């Protein structure tokens, strides 16, 4: 319908009927398209009203907040878009995950729209302690530093910033291990492609820490300990009869080997015919039985 000339009002009626009658507000995609249509028609205030109506029903709907901020950026300016993010961050109706994503979007505006990487970096640094468990915050912070332009003179300083963010991800954040592992792989690729002469050593250490079994992941053990020492976690595992697991080798299993044999032997038990047998108990003060 929009392809036809002089059909603007008919298109508006279609959007209004879809938004008010046929499509519930729980599915805001049609309303977001309707807001774009009204903005295209020069009715920016109507588009803002549509966004505000969606947020009344779903205060933490990130796509709507970003769309509203971008509308303000296109028609008013970057500062107006930033005001949208500030108002939503200060709102008590939004949860911490939505606020962390808005901080990241705000930093993106400062960097890409305003051209100030320094202000964007300061915003990330100022707020990182509030969003230690926010996946989107740390991923965007990491790639913000990774995507900064560089030169031979600036690369050492840039590498130090990337490394600092990565270390904060590993040691300070409370992200899931799989998320940390994914970010680590990007950092390891950066080390090989653009790292210095010491990159090989750091890469191999990270490969052990990230891809190795839990028994050799000293940084993860230190992170789990209350005093920050890997030895504390190891002692707790021993006291709680815990162990990092048994490494499974499918080729060895096909050859008939029992993957638990080594574990039982370490516990003082001798497996017989694939079954573990408890070791003999020795009581002090008693002689051997004849």
**CA-CA distance, 47 to 59, in Å (whole number)?**
17
Q: Which of 82, 121, 128 is nearest to 105 (CA)?
A: 82
Place of tokens 């070791």: 279
Distance CA 17, CA 10 (A): 11
Looking at residue 243, its pLDDT comes to 47
Rounded Cα gap, residues 199 and 65, in angstroms: 41
How much is the pLDDT for 289? 47
Question: So where are the chain's domains?
Answer: 9-94, 217-245
Alpha carbon distance 157, 114 (integer Å): 23
Model pLDDT, residue 9: 84
Contacts of 65 (CB under 8 A, 6+ apart): 55, 84, 85, 88, 98, 102
Query: Which pLDDT score, from 0 to 100, does residue 20 have?
Result: 86
pLDDT of res. 152 = 81
Task: Tell me the sheet residues that pair with 272.
Answer: 275
Q: What is the pTM of this model?
A: 0.74
pLDDT of amino acid 195? 86
Chain centroid offset of residue 228 CA: 23
* pLDDT of res. 246: 46
How far does CA 170 lie from the centroid of its chain?
11
Residue range 9-94, CATH number: 1.25.40.10
Residue pair 164/191 in contact by the 8 Å Cβ criterion: no
pLDDT tens profile 134-172: 999 999 999 999 999 888 888 889 999 999 999 999 989
**Rounded distance between C-alpha atoms, residue 52 and residue 45, angstroms:** 10
Q: What values do phi and psi take at 258, rounded to 5?
A: -95, 120
Low-confidence ranges of the chain (pLDDT < 70): 1-5, 215, 221, 223-228, 230-254, 256-290
- Token look-up 């990487």 returns 117
Which stretches does DSSP call E strand in the chain? 270-272, 275-277
Helix pair angle (177-194, 135-146), 10° resolution? 0
> What single-letter DSSP state applies at residue 112?
I
């Amino acid at each position: 319908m929009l392809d036809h000339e002089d059909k603007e009002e008919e298109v508006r009626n279609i959007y209004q009927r879809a938004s008010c009658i046929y499509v519930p507000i729980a599915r805001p995609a049609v309303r977001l398209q309707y807001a774009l249509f009204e903005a295209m028609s020069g009715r920016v205030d109507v588009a803002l009203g549509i966004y505000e109506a969606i947020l009344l029903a779903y205060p933490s709907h990130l796509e709507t907040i970003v769309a509203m901020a971008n509308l303000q950026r296109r028609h008013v300016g970057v500062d107006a878009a930033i005001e949208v993010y500030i108002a939503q961050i200060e709102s008590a109706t939004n949860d911490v995950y939505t606020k962390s994503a808005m901080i990241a979007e705000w930093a993106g505006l400062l960097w890409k729209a305003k051209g100030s990487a320094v202000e964007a970096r300061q915003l990330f640094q100022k707020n990182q302690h509030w969003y230690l468990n926010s996946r989107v915050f740390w991923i965007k912070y990491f790639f913000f530093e990774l995507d900064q332009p560089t030169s031979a003179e600036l690369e050492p300083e840039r590498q130090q910033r990337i490394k600092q963010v990565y270390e904060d991800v590993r040691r300070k954040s409370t992200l899931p291990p799989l998320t940390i592992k994914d970010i680590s792989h990007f950092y390891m690729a950066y080390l090989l492609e653009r790292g210095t002469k010491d990159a090989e050593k750091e890469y191999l250490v990270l490969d052990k820490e990230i891809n190795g079994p839990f028994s050799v992941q000293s940084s993860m053990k230190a992170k789990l300990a209350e005093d920050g020492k890997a030895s504390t976690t190891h002692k707790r595992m021993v006291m709680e009869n815990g162990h990092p697991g048994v490494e499974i080798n499918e080729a060895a299993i096909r050859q008939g080997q029992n993957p638990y044999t080594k574990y039982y032997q370490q516990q003082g038990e001798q497996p017989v015919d694939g079954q573990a047998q408890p070791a003999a108990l020795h009581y002090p003060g008693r002689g051997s039985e004849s």
